[in-house]
Amino acid sequence: MPPKKSKHEIALKKIKLKKDSKMKLKKKKTTSSSSNAVAAVGGSENRGVDSEWWNSFWEKNSPISGSMVPQDEEEGFKYFFRVSKKTFEYICSLVREDLISRPPSGLINIEGRLLSVEKQVAIALRRLASGESQVSVGASFGVGQSTVSQVTWRFIEAMEERGRHHLKWPEDDNLQKIKSEFESSFNLPNCCGAIDATHIVMTLPAVQTSDDWCDQIRNYSMLVQAIVDHKSRFLDLVTGWPGGMTVPKLLKFSGFYKLCESGERLNGNPQSIPGGSEIREFIVGGSNYPLLPWLITPYNENDEVSGFNTVHEAARSVAVKAFSQLKGSWRILNKVMWRPDKKKLPSIIVVCCLLHNIIIDCGDYIKPDVSLSCHHDLGYAQQWCKQVEPLGRKMRENLAIYLENSK
């Protein structure tokens, strides 16, 4: 016969049962509330992709007589967001989980509903593409300035994490294809890409201004360096450094430089050329870069090697083109940024480069008319770098002889 339970034990059991019941009810309410929020923000499986935002946006911003906005709706979409609807859907799929699971607070539009993932992505893309003020972008979507600010930053955080695979140094097979394309287009054997740098101009608060950020033409700016392939697609990126830094110094602070110097990058098999010489893997860069065994720069204008310089400049121009397309497509980078957060600005730059690559990777295209009509670093004269390494000089000589004999 089981022993009798004391009154104290019975009382404790009743309290526990009552507490468990309350916890289950609370959990049920929380789960129900979370489900409703997920459905409202991102659209549940039953609800599907939100397209209402586009109909409303197009009606409000559709072309009028004399407008630069294309009459065709598909082209209009690309005009406003730089991507096709198909690429837009892919971008939404990358960030959907993050924007649903951690939606920014207070994102309720004028109809009293939480913003869908599609509308959030559209707001962020429009802000990056146009470079217009948050107030102006918000007005075109019927939301406030603070909503544009929150949405854009959450999108940038999500894209930087979820889209990283679109910007990385290529594996062996892809690198081989890049080398083949450079040789086919420019007759440069074993060339793996082109390097260039650009300034992102900004206005800083007086308390943050310093000589480090003040560049050669007295702008406050941040430097960006990139290596690109034959399609002007970004392969390596470094940013966050002040505009007052020189390009050679920026190169030496980059991870790419350290990997090349330690033999961990651009370390593939050398290619034999007629005459018994060998050409190692290399990239091409402008006269503002040092001449290294793996970084080939042009001859001085006084040297009689114009044929080499012509070929070299044609290959290097793919990097110039990439920055012109980047700053032209994502105009936030080509307008003077008003008091940017210097810790957040590198993330904005990275995400714009990711978007540039995604357009190419998705078989989409960059509209020719969005590229800058001028140089991407207008006003910044290239300062000739006098650093010349003997092995770099020999490499350049071998390439020049090869090009001359290939005519």
**What is residue 81's predicted lDDT score, i.e. its pLDDT?**
97
Beta bridge partners of 282: 191
Tell me: the pLDDT tens digits for 121-145?
Answer: 999 999 999 999 999 999 999 999 9
pLDDT higher than 70, residue 30? no
Residue 227 or residue 50, greater confidence:
227
**What is residue 108's predicted lDDT score, i.e. its pLDDT?**
56
pLDDT higher than 80, residue 385? yes
What number is the average pLDDT over the span 283-291?
97
pLDDT band at 66 (very low <50, low <70, confident <90, very high): low
Write out the two tokens for 158.
């999500």
pLDDT higher than 60, residue 33? no
**What is residue 109's predicted lDDT score, i.e. its pLDDT?**
56
What number is the average pLDDT over the span 24-34?
40
Cβ-contact 159, 350 below 8 angstroms: no
**What is residue 402's predicted lDDT score, i.e. its pLDDT?**
94
Phi, psi of 378 (to 5 degrees): -55, 130
Cβ-contact 376, 327 below 8 angstroms: yes
**What is residue 175's predicted lDDT score, i.e. its pLDDT?**
98
pLDDT higher than 90, residue 114? no
pLDDT band at 342 (very low <50, low <70, confident <90, very high): confident
Tell me: the pLDDT tens digits for 143-166?
Answer: 999 999 999 999 999 999 999 999
Tell me: the pLDDT tens digits for 176-209?
Answer: 999 999 999 999 999 999 999 999 999 887 666 6
pLDDT band at 36 (very low <50, low <70, confident <90, very high): very low
Domain ranges of the chain: 54-59+68-162, 166-341+364-405
**What is residue 13's predicted lDDT score, i.e. its pLDDT?**
45
pLDDT higher than 90, residue 301? no
pLDDT higher than 90, residue 102? no
Give the C-alpha separation, 135 to 296, whole Å.
Answer: 46
Among 236-240, 263-267, 271-275, 384-388, the least confident range: 271-275
Cβ-contact 267, 278 below 8 angstroms: no
What number is the average pLDDT over the span 9-33?
43
Give the C-alpha separation, 84 to 93, whole Å.
Answer: 14
**What is residue 159's predicted lDDT score, i.e. its pLDDT?**
98
Give the C-alpha separation, 297 to 316, whole Å.
Answer: 9
Tell me: the pLDDT tens digits for 310-334?
Answer: 999 999 999 999 999 999 999 999 9
Cβ-contact 226, 256 below 8 angstroms: no
**What is residue 43's predicted lDDT score, i.e. its pLDDT?**
38
Give the C-alpha separation, 396 to 332, whole Å.
Answer: 38
What number is the average pLDDT over the span 3-8?
44
